[in-house]
């Protein structure tokens, strides 16, 4: 069983990429850490002087004091603070200098929250392997919530191919990631992007180790017959260079419609005959909306914000048109409006709801897809 991160584990993340920084903050908060993010070296040094931290994560190439310059100054007032530097290829001099300054180096060309989390756990002496907060969709006390929890528990046990069906906004993708716990490597591909080249690019990192693999195909009802045959070859172990991957691969097909009604690939359907799950429409989960909202806030805010009684009433009487993602994004934006230590009011929610459809900053589901799709753009 995994252990949660200690409540005292406060981490500073410093880097100039909004997307990458957002990914790291969300996933570290989801793992139970108290995270503060800044955009450059000067802001990092200011934060470290003003607040206590247990660890700092610095980008080698961040502006206004790169990591090497910032770390040199940092050691003047925090000589023992653990520091991890995210970097691409380094010169021998840079590597040597980081070693002299007592920094751990994580070499990565793009954001890799899982690798960073493992490095943080090792540096702080933790053994965290799984998020501290489960999927909010599993919250609630209704009969539908109980049934969904039972189905997800069964979903975690499928061996080869599984089907996860649910209408738009039901939370299929987020629930699909509940099908595998660490150390499983999780990959996602949209049906419209599926081909041999995409699979090779996406799954190639899985060849570097022997960990189990979960492959999620979104909107599977749109996969044409020739691409269904490609997935069959992958599962059968007949697709080079992934012939050995089939022994540790699980394929999860997410769709809005029943694949059985679409005459989908017979081999894959037979493999999934005992592993087909239907997610209830989010509009039918109205009894659980308040509990789901609190769970969203615990995850995105690491438990630092609360929903006022008026906010809960606002959520309960609002029409979410069957869309869990809309609720999730609205609460995220309301938390930003209220501040991380404040109580979220119905006014915050109303303002956030009005902004949700036009918001162009990366929020949880955008970043979640970015991490598991191998999209480095």
222 with 257: CB under 8 angstroms? no
What's the token pair of residue 90? 């380094």
Which domains, and CATH codes, for the chain?
10-124 (3.40.50.2300), 158-278 (3.40.50.300), 282-356 (1.10.8.60)
Report long-range pairs for 351-358 (Cβ below 8 Å, ≥24 apart): 353/318, 356/326, 356/329, 356/330
The mean pLDDT value of the chain amounts to 85
* Per-residue model confidence (pLDDT) at position 325: 92
The proportion of the chain whose per-residue pLDDT surpasses 70, expressed as a percent, equals: 89
Length of the chain in residues, anyone? 377
Phi, psi angle pair for 97, to nearest 5°: -65, -40
The answer, as to whether pTM is greater than 0.85, is: no
Mean pLDDT over 163-176 rounds to 93
* pLDDT score for 372: 79
Report which listed range, 9-13, 45-49, 361-365, is most confident: 45-49
User: Mind listing the pLDDT tens digit for each residue in 106-162?
Assistant: 777 565 677 777 788 777 765 343 344 578 999 999 999 999 999 999 999 999 999
Q: What is the pLDDT of residues 42-66, one digit of tens each?
A: 999 999 988 888 899 998 888 888 8
Q: What percent of the chain has pLDDT over 90?
A: 47
Alpha-carbon torsion (140, 146, 149, 151), positive or negative: negative
Residue ranges of the alpha helices (H) in the chain? 18-30, 41-50, 67-74, 92-100, 113-124, 143-155, 172-176, 196-203, 225-236, 266-271, 289-301, 309-317, 324-338, 346-356, 364-372
pLDDT at residue 17 above 90? Answer: no
- On the question of pLDDT at 203 being above 80, the answer is yes
- What mean pLDDT do residues 179-186 have? 84
Rank 93-107, 169-183, 226-240, 300-314 by mean pLDDT and report only the highest: 226-240
Beta strand 10-14 with 83-87: parallel, antiparallel or unpaired? unpaired
**More confident call, 303 vs 299:** 299
Q: What is the C-alpha separation between 122 and 283, in angstroms, rounded?
A: 42
- Compute the distance between CA of residue 24 and CA of residue 45 in angstroms, rounded to an integer: 19
């Amino acid at each position: 069983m995994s252990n949660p991160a200690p409540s005292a584990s406060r981490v500073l993340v410093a880097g100039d990429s909004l997307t990458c920084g957002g990914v790291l903050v969300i996933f570290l908060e989801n793992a139970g850490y108290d995270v503060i993010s800044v955009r450059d070296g000067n802001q990092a040094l200011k934060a470290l002087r003003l607040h206590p931290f247990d660890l700092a994560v610095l980008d080698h190439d961040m502006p206004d004091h790169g990591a090497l310059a910032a770390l040199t100054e940092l050691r003047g007032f925090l000589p023992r603070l653990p520091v991890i530097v995210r970097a691409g290829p380094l010169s021998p001099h840079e590597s040597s200098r980081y070693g002299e300054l007592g920094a751990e180096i994580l070499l990565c060309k793009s954001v890799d929250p899982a690798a960073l989390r493992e490095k943080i756990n090792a540096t702080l002496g933790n053994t965290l392997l799984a998020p501290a907060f489960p999927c909010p969709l599993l919250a609630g006390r209704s009969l539908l919530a109980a049934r969904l929890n039972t189905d997800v528990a069964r979903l975690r046990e499928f061996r080869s191919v599984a089907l996860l069906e649910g209408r738009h906004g039901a939370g299929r993708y987020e629930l699909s990631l509940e099908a595998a716990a660490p150390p499983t490597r999780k990959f996602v591909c949209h049906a419209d992007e599926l081909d041999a080249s995409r699979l090779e690019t996406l799954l190639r990192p899985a060849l570097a180790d022997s960990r189990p693999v979960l492959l999620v195909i979104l909107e599977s009802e749109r996969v044409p017959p020739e691409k269904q045959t490609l997935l069959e070859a992958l599962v059968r172990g007949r697709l080079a260079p992934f012939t050995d991957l089939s022994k540790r691969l699980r394929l999860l097909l997410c769709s809005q419609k029943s694949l059985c009604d679409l005459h989908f690939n017979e081999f894959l359907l037979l493999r999934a005959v005992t592993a087909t799950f239907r997610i209830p429409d989010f509009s039918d989960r109205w009894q659980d909306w308040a509990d789901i909202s609190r769970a969203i806030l615990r995850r995105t805010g690491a438990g630092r914000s609360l929903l006022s009684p008026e906010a809960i009433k606002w959520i309960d009487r609002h029409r979410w048109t069957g869309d869990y993602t809309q609720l999730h994004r609205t609460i995220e934006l309301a938390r930003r409006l209220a501040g991380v230590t404040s109580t979220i009011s119905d006014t915050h929610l109303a303002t956030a709801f009005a902004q949700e459809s036009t918001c162009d900053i990366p929020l949880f589901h955008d970043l979640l897809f970015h991490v598991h799709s191998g999209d480095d753009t």
